Structure 1
């Protein structure tokens, strides 16, 4: 056996790792080797300890037959899989040792290894679900959300991430293919695993998580889930967040969250965008869906190109040009890039940092939900009577609201 490149974090390596870990006996083997990692363990001793664990008997009570079966299983089934996954290696003298694989640096994974539980079947299900790259992408998207997403919103985000492009550049045909796979294969599987809540009739998906699931395991860029990891460690989706203001970092999580807020609107959807670069295809679909539901939609921008694009795509939207440049904060501050205000009870306010070399803004957003949420109340007072202009009858879709 040889020691593969254990620093590799490619999607394929993750699939091999989690597929290997979706077997309680292999986790037992890894647990035993990890416990002897300083000097390693011989295959004979490993088989004795494995037989004792799997038969739940003292080491001295293991029979020759039990030891032989365990030895054969180790040699022909478990060790080859663990070696291929880069988790263990065999030294020149035949000793089995753990590698310097990145999983061993994770405290939660170490806790799984050191603490065998009565619910090992639950871990089988978890790791089996994580062995599929699309499952991990789905969980990455949902992990950034604090309320359910529609299956189409999820499909568009998943398709964009898998293609490593923006949502506006993903074809509708690709989105539909992903959507079909989600509703017929992946979401039912993840729902059965207890990782998501999936309502097929309503077409909505929510993140349920797992106490042992780490965001670092889901992809090569765990920073995407930093805000979700901080939040879900201390609160659940059902927690009363009327006084909670959360911070989102990164364009992907902000776009998806903004679109999901659009889906919650029942009466009124108030939006602002400073540039065309902030308009995603998914934004238009959420706007069109809201109009179809009878929601009053208002979109404002000082950029005439934004207003023209929205007018062409969604002529029923009420457009206006803000008369005050309130979207720019004081000097040395970050300009406001986007605003989504749903039913005046949920708000997302995104700011734009300095564009890096690739032209993508380093976006940050604040989000608050609930009529009594402090941030929501502040935004209502900030806009004040200006929002009331939206209630006045109008004959055209052009207005000059002094915002």
Structure 2
């Protein structure tokens, strides 16, 4: 039986899960559970003495054997042979830090269309119009910070600008990231107070792949909208689907916050304005 989609997102959002996948990804061959256990404990900087090390080995081994590895196998993320005591990544595994984004289209194929206010639920909204409306709603509800990533300028709409400027008038910090120069220029011209940066994100480097992430909006780090486009705009399709989550413990929010948190904290040092003030070239 397939793992429920929200359980799968929670699993991947867990830092311990990503540590396991990272260790397996770094290994040149399948690992025994004992080898994996030692590698995981050695990565933990809080383990500082022999007694703590041994205790953590026991805890990690039990957790791997009884919980984590069976769950990862069920989710299709690892190959695990309990009889042989061997575990490895699947042949089609990718960088575990960005694994979730390649799985999003798979999640969407299993989601029933819904929009829920349950803080543990991941909602789905369909259609470009509904996605635009929800984007504006997030801007209107932002209290401290509004963070956007756009893949291309075809998503830009001057009708959204008043929502951004009104948020800034309320004292909201407004940040926009894009590898597309036209997107960055749009915000420089229309909202010059914006913190603008060029993200270096692996999942934005495959322009020909569909479905693909088209935009990400994070408001106050507890509300997220992640949208996907199913085909190029040139085909005449404006089909867009977005996953939405709200609340500090929401699995989608936790996932995005875990992956982007360090970048969110250092945007000022990556922005156009900061780079332009330096007496040397970055």
Question: How would you bin the TM-score normalised by the shorter chain?
Answer: 0.5 to 0.7
Deviation at 1:289, TM superposition (A): 0.9
The 5-angstrom pairing of residues 221-300 of structure 1 reads: 227=113, 230-231=114-115, 241-300=118-177
Secondary structure at the counterpart of residue 326 of structure 1: helix
Equivalent position of 1:337 in the other structure: 214
CA distance in 2, matches of 1:298, 1:398: 15
Residue ranges of structure 2 left out of the alignment (5+ in a row): 1-111, 277-282
Matched with 2:44 is: none
State the Cα distance separating 1:364 from its structure 2 match. 0.8
Secondary structure of the corresponding residue to residue 196 of structure 2: strand
Alignment of 1:247-396 (within 5 A): 247-327=124-204, 333-355=210-232, 359-390=236-267, 396=273
Contact 1:271 1:338 in 2 (8 A): yes
Larger Rg: 1
Query: 2: distance between equivalents of 1:394 and 1:338?
Result: 19
Q: Secondary structure at the match of 2:146?
A: strand
Checking the alignment, whether the CA contact within 8 Å between 1:317 and 1:397 is kept in structure 2 is no
Alignment partners' CA distance in 1, 2:233 and 2:143? 37
Report the number of matched residues: 165
SS of 2:204's partner is coil
- CA offset at residue 355 of structure 1? 3.3
Write the distance in 1 (CA, Å) between the matches of 2:269 and 2:232. Answer: 39
- Root mean square deviation, CA, Å: 2.8
- The Cα shift of 1:325 comes to 3.8
1:259 counterpart SS class = helix
* SS at structure 1 position matched to 2:259: helix
| Runs (4+) off by over 4 Å | 328-333, 391-395
What is the TM-score when the length of structure 1 is the normalising length?
0.38
1:294 aligns to what SS in structure 2?
Answer: coil
Q: Are the aligned partners of 2:211 and 2:229 in contact in 1 as well (CA < 8 Å)?
A: yes
Q: Displacement, 1:381?
A: 0.6
CA drift at 1:277: 0.8
Is this contact kept in 2: 1:259–1:282, CA < 8 A? no
Indicate the larger mover: 312-321 or 324-333.
324-333
Provide the TM-score with structure 2 as the length reference.
Answer: 0.53
C-alpha distance in 2 between matches for 1:298 and 1:305: 16
- Cα 1:342–1:383 change in 2 (3 A) is same
The Cα of 1:285 is off from its aligned counterpart by: 1.4
